[in-house]
Amino acid sequence: MAASKNKTESTKASVAKFVDAVEDDAQRADAAALVLLFTKISGYPPRMWGTSIVGFGAYAYTYESGRSGTACAVGFSPRKGKLAIYWGRSGPTTDALLRALGKHEPGGGCLYIKRLSDIDVRVLQKLVKSGLANRKKEWPVTPT
C-alpha cells in the first residue's frame, strides 16, 4: 500500500511567530517554556507540523494495515483553554508518571493540561523523555 497523505505534515512555518501569536498570555508563556523543554529533552529543533502543532523530531511509520506516513516524535499544541502534549509512546513507567504528573486529562495519543503550573514539570520531563525513548525503540527518529 502506498503512503497516504497525512493531514498534519512538517512545514517551514516559524515556530517563534506561531508561539508569539498565541492569544492567551499565560498559554503563550507556557508554549514558550514547552519549546525550551522539548528542545532540551529531545535534542531536536522545533518545527511546525500543520498549522498548530510544534513538533520535535520525526518518525516514519508503517502499520500492519499497510498505512504509512511521517509524524513528529514528540510535541505540543496550544489549544483553546488547554495544551495538548504529544509525549511519545507508553512504556512500563507511564502509569506511575501519569499518576504523579498532576492535573491532566488523557486524550487519544496525547494528554491535555490547562497550565504548566497545574502539573509537576519534572514529571512531564520524565514522561516525554521516556515516551521518546519508547518511540525510538519502535521507529527510527530523525531530525525534521
Task: Please state whether the predicted TM-score (pTM) of the whole model is above 0.85.
Answer: yes
Cα-to-chain-centroid distance, residue 99? 19
Residue 108: pLDDT band with limits 50, 70, 90: confident
Helix and strand numbers (H, E) in the chain are 4, 7
Residue 45 sits in a domain of what CATH number?
3.90.1150.200
30 in a structural domain: yes
5 in a structural domain: no
77 in a structural domain: yes
**How confident is the model over 12-26, as pLDDT tens digits?**
999 999 999 999 999
Question: Could you give the number of structural domains in the chain?
Answer: 1
32 in a structural domain: yes
Q: Can you give the residue range of the structural domain that contains 67? A: 15-142
73 in a structural domain: yes
